[in-house]
Structure 1
Amino acid sequence: MKILSWLYTGWCVFWFLLVFLLLFPIVFIALQKEEWKPIAHYCNRIWGKIFFFVIGQPVKVTYETTLDPKKAYVFCANHFSYLDVAMMGVVIKNYFAFVGKSSAKNIPLFGYMFAKLHIQVDRAAKDSRIKALTRSIRALKSGRSIMIFPEGGIHSTNFPEMVQPFKDGAFSMAIENQVPLVPISLLDNYKAMPEILFKWHKLRVIIHAPIETKGKTKADINDLKKEVYDIIQPTLNKYKD
């Protein structure tokens, strides 16, 4: 019944905002200095873990391999739901910068946190994309990981089919810094939050083994796109029911 979905959505939004507001004073202080920002990142991780637990949707994460928490990676995941962004802080243990839409900066408080901690991009402006790529490369050089949705947004009209072709950004920055790409399959988020309403659903994530980029050049971008797609898409198909 739709009324139950609205009630459950209200419950989820309440806890989403409450936990964020309780942690925000610590986050605000931590954002004032670059060396303190990992604290803000960790607070966001706590925020996500509490949120998913309280709404009754604990996240089951399967790791195909053990990742080095101190190593830089470029994480690439399918993007079918607004829930995906909140999920990233829960499943990725590395300190990372999320590359996302600049429109997020217009959200009170959250926008401030996003602008200070992550990397904004206006996909309609070429210079913004270039600046975001430059900042991402700089972050990787400093040892910080990058998380990006290579589809460039929620564009699919037939979940769980990913939209092709992928954007170049994730693959360019991984090659530029010779860091591994890590595919991530978000199996159930689009079932739990297909649009703006929440629905209860078990949430499962698979962190796949890294794809090495050492020795790769920009000529290998399309091959890397296909390799990531060929890992994530069959996994989504396998668990779609």
Structure 2
Amino acid sequence: MDMNLVPSIFLLSVVAIPLLYLWSDTVKYYSKVGFILIWIGMTSIVIIILCAHRGQNIDNMRKADDAHLGLYSTCVICSFGRVHNRMLNYMTYFLGIKVKVQGLENLPDEDSYVMVANHQGALDFSVYSQFFPPRCVPICKKEFLYMGPLGLAFWLCGYFFIDRQHRSQAITTMLHIQKTMLTNKFRIFICPEGTRNYSTSMLPFKHGAFHLAVQAQVPVVPVVISSYKSFFNKKEKKFTKGKCIVQILPKVETQGLNAENVAELTNRVRDTMLNVFYQISEVKQ
């Protein structure tokens, strides 16, 4: 290559990339998704550096938050603590996503409860950070544990990992969570659909979260995230500006319920959440 052409190629790239970002939804989609992935990786490393000396501890998330790291809200830190730093707003602004949280007054005063929410993809981390209560620990699939720095950061922050391929091990883990949740006074967060759902509805709910709540006799707190379909679409490679509504619903008591009531409880909570989902989303039922 003629070395005299290098400055021209560099200048052309500097001009072309921003133009492609503005003109092409596909380029914009991959740019934003790439940014999210890079930020998650960076933040995971920061968490490991800050918290490794403490070992696995759900209070690591508070330490990270107190450090005012404020890295983009899809990061592990912001998924947990109460985010009060300006960097979160800067990065949310960069993505062009406005999140409106409704129903914060419905968060219970109890030390322990099970929070359930619908799951639509990687953007959820950003949205969840807007309402996550203190000492609230997610349950996720075991595969995350082996995702390099991200898995180690999750482990340090006290995530619980479920082996969905082995039912007996999953049950053992849930029993352990039930006992320690009440003893150590923390909350559990779980997505009962069990996987990401890109449709404009909700998948059937798995019973695990509701079994946990009934066995521990703690409330279920439903949280509904409006559809991302108008601004984020993986299939169409679209990631534009948009708005998202989070509706926290009143708690559902489980006092006096038993295993025989779990299926009815699951369906009742899902029906309520689905109705709210259609009400706050720009999609048709």
Same fold at TM > 0.5: yes
Q: Which residue of 1 aligns with 2:274?
A: 233
- TM-score in terms of structure 2 length: 0.72
Report the counterpart of residue 144 of structure 1 in structure 2: 186
Equivalenced residues, count: 237
Give 3-state SS (helix, strand or coil) of 1:184's partner.
strand
Who is 1:128 aligned against? 169
Structure 1 residue 37 and structure 2 residue 79: aligned? no
Equivalents in 1 of 2:124, 2:169: separation in Å?
23
Return closer, same or farther for 1:70/1:56 CA change in 2, 3 Å cut-off. Answer: farther
Per-residue CA distance 1:15-39 (angstroms, 9 max, x = gap): 4444444444223344x26474353
RMSD: 2.8
Partner Cα distance (1:19, 1:79) in 2: 22
What is the CA distance between 1:188 and its match in structure 2?
Answer: 3.5
Structure index of larger Rg: 2
Matched with 2:30 is 6
Higher relative contact order (CA 8 A, sep 6+): 1
Give the Cα–Cα distance (whole angstroms) in 1 for the partners of residues 62 and 187 of structure 2: 15
- Whole-Å Cα distance in 2 between the matches of residues 113 and 20 of structure 1? 5
Rounded to whole Å, the distance in 1 between the matches of 2:233 and 2:52 is 31
For residue 105 of structure 1, what is the aligned residue in structure 2? 145
1:25 is aligned to 2:49? yes
1:90 aligned residue (123, 130, 140):
130
CA contact under 8 A between 1:9 and 1:199: conserved in structure 2? no
Structure 1 pair 192/40, CA: closer, same or farther in 2 (3 Å)? farther
- Larger deviation, residues 195-204 vs 59-68: 195-204
- After superposition, residues 156-195 of structure 1 pair within 5 angstroms as 156=197, 159-164=199-204, 166-189=205-228, 191-195=230-234
Query: Retained in 2: the 8 A contact 1:23–1:47?
Result: no
Give the gaps of 5 or more residues in structure 1: none
Contact kept? 1:69, 1:93, Cα under 8 Å: no
Q: Aligned with 1:90: secondary structure?
A: coil
1:17-69 CA-to-partner distances (Å, cap 9, x unmatched) read: 44444444223344x26474353574645478525355342422111634246
1:95 deviates by 1.1
Letter in 2 for 1:6: Y
Counterpart AA for 2:248:
I
Q: Secondary structure at the match of 1:206?
A: strand
Kept after mapping to 1: 8 A contact 2:114/2:221: yes
Task: Say whether 1:200 aligns with 2:224.
Answer: no
Please list, as runs of the form range in 1=range in 2, the aligned pairs for 1:70-81 lying within 5 A after superposition: 71-81=111-121
**Percent sequence identity over matched residues?**
20
Structure 2: which 5+ runs fail to align? Answer: 1-23, 67-75
Structure 1 equivalent of residue 264 of structure 2: 223
TM (normalized to structure 1)? 0.84
Q: Is the 8 A contact 1:105 1:115 kept in 2?
A: yes
